[in-house]
Amino acid sequence: MKNSLMVLILGLIFCCSRVETPKNYLALGDSYTIGEGVAESDRWPGQLVEDLENRGYSIDSVQIIARTSWTTDELVLGVLETPTLPEYDLITIMIGVNNQYRGRSLENFKEELEILIKLSLKMTGGNPSKVFLISIPDWGVTPYADRFDGDLIADEINAFNLEIIQASQESNIHYIDVTELSRQAAQDSTLLVADGLNPSGLMYTQWVEKMAPIIYEAVND
């Protein structure tokens, strides 16, 4: 009985010691990452940090390199031109919707995404378990897209996401799909902000509910 109790206590100590050290998080992206149209507290990176901390994964610092309308090449430049920490414990990448919107090629997207992945791996000490690729949401279901071909947008978004999936597999990093969640905005206007395009804090919450368990398990593996 005493031996079993001691094993349990040691196990709890070991478990807690794995997550109590503060970590550094870098979020890379575009308007989705900066939360265009929502309060700072409603941005999904902030909600993700809160969720992870509730699970016992302490985030010491959060850095966001993102800007509305950015494409992959602009994000690459943003990363190269922005002062960063020597190393991060967690990096998320959500980029590509503006590549699709501007009619950029899949080949161009793939090349620049590979650069972003290499930069991210360098900033995590070469550890692929710390890097997460997030799928591109489908803006084609939003009221803003009424003047566009929604089916074509969906097909193109799916094609870009296939490139993201392939890149994640080739680099052995995690891929998290939030695209299907984004498509729920077709039936629920509360998932969008007033501009009828960008996600609301509620939609970001749904994304985080999908992301957080996957990220937490990976960074604590």
CATH code, domain with 78: 3.40.50.1110
**121 occurs within a structural domain:** yes
Q: Can you give the pTM of this predicted structure?
A: 0.90
Asked, for residue 184, whether it belongs to a domain, the answer is: yes
CA atoms within 13 A on the CB side of 24: 9
CA distances 124 to 73, 91, 96, 138, 173, Å, are 21, 8, 22, 29, 12
CA 64 – CA 48 distance, rounded (Å): 13
DSSP string of 126-139, one letter each residue: T-GGGEEEEPPP-G
The answer to whether position 21 is within a domain reads no
DSSP 59-122: EEEEEEEE-TT--HHHHHHHHHHS---S--SEEEEE--HHHHHTT--HHHHHHHHHHHHHHHHH
Give the mean model confidence (pLDDT) for residues 143-147: 96
Q: What Rg, from alpha-carbon coordinates, does the chain have?
A: 18
Label residue 19 by pLDDT band (50, 70, 90): very low
Phi and psi of 196, rounded to 5°?
70, 20
8 A C-beta contact, residue 35 and residue 29:
no
Domain region containing 86: 27-219
Percent over 90 (pLDDT), the chain: 89
- What's the CA gap between 116 and 114, in Å, rounded? 5
Q: Is residue 12 part of a domain?
A: no
Is residue 4 situated within a structural domain? no
pLDDT tens figures, 188-201: 999 999 999 999 99
> If DSSP codes are grouped into helix, strand and coil, which group holds residue 41?
helix
Residue 81 lies in a domain: yes
- What is d(CA 145, CA 151) in angstroms, rounded to the nearest whole number? 10
Q: Residue 134: inside a domain, yes or no?
A: yes
Total number of domains in the chain: 1
User: How much is the pLDDT for 221?
Assistant: 72
**Is pLDDT above 70 for 100?**
yes
Is residue 126 in a domain? yes
> 3-class DSSP state for residue 57?
coil
